[in-house]
Amino acid sequence: MSLVLEGFLNTVALTLLSFAGALLVGLLVAVLRVVPVPLLRGVGAVYVEVWRNIPLLAWLVLFVFGLPEVGVKMPLFWTAFTAIALYEAAFVAEALRSGVNSVASGQGEAARALGLSFRQSLRHVILPQASKRVVQPLANIAIALTMATALAGVVGVVDMTRAAQRINLELAQPLLVFTGVGLCYLVMAAGIGFGARVLERRLA
């Protein structure tokens, strides 16, 4: 039973922490992709393409087994966290960018016509309108991230899916164990969806 709890807590912790990390890095990358400096836009684009076109499992394997060989030693949980956060950051960056792009271009032009600077028009005109449009895409990313944390189990983190598989070996109650774990994921996703709806209403 303690294994179940450990797995559940690890999944929740990994989800929350990596989503926070992904938001932070994703915001940075999204900013890189819209600044007026061509070189930085290129850096942002390369980041997004490289991270999201390689499977997360390949990243996890590379990080967990590869980093120690180049002398970067971290606890397993934090290595998995780093890989997941950096991977999902690419998707967050794309969601944020398309949110910003979805604001009608006339809005930005109007702001500039009024003499607002780049930063002012972003702060007072673009971002307030973009923010409510990115809530739903970000919630979808959060749900995908919850599922993605299961892959950390493959490289050794005892997450919920991994725990289910181990318990099943001992208990031989497959239906019960796997249905239970599936329900846990459903509940987490429902929680994220609910949070997103509340947030969306606040911003509207």
Partner 1 sequence: MFDAPGPRSRRRIFWVSAVSVLVLAGLVALGLRQFAAGGQLDADRWRPYLTWPVWRYLLGGLWSTVVAACATGVLAMAGGLLLALRPNRFTRAYAEVMRTVPVLLLVYVMLFVLPSFGVNLPLFWKLVVPLALSHAASYAVIFRAGVSAVDPGQREAGLSLGMPDGVVTRFVVLPQAVRHMTPLLVTQAASLLKDTSLGYVVSYTELLFNGRVLANYNGLLIQTFIVVAFVYLVVNLALSRLAHRLEAARARTAR
State the residues that interact with partner 1 by CB under 8 A.
34, 36-40, 43, 49-50, 53-59, 61-62, 65-66, 69-72, 100, 108, 112, 118, 121-122, 126, 143, 146-151, 153-154, 161, 164-165, 168-169, 172, 174-175, 178, 181-182, 185-186, 188-190
Q: Is the Cβ of residue 24 or residue 62 nearer to partner 1 in the bound state?
A: 62
Question: From the CB of 26, what's the least distance to partner 1, in Å?
Answer: 18
Question: From the CB of 142, what's the least distance to partner 1, in Å?
Answer: 11
SS (H, E, C) the chain: CHHHHHHHHHHHHHHHHHHHHHHHHHHHHHHHHHCCCHHHHHHHHHHHHHHHCCCHHHHHHHHHHHHHHHCCCCCHHHHHHHHHHHHHHHHHHHHHHHHHHHCCHHHHHHHHHCCCCHHHHHHHHHHHHHHHHHHHHHHHHHHHHHHHHHHHHCCCCCCHHHHHHHHHHHHCCHHHHHHHHHHHHHHHHHHHHHHHHHHHHHHC
Q: Is the Cβ of residue 55 or residue 128 nearer to partner 1 in the bound state?
A: 55
Q: Is the Cβ of residue 169 or residue 198 nearer to partner 1 in the bound state?
A: 169
Q: Is the Cβ of residue 63 or residue 85 nearer to partner 1 in the bound state?
A: 63
Question: From the CB of 49, what's the least distance to partner 1, in Å?
Answer: 6
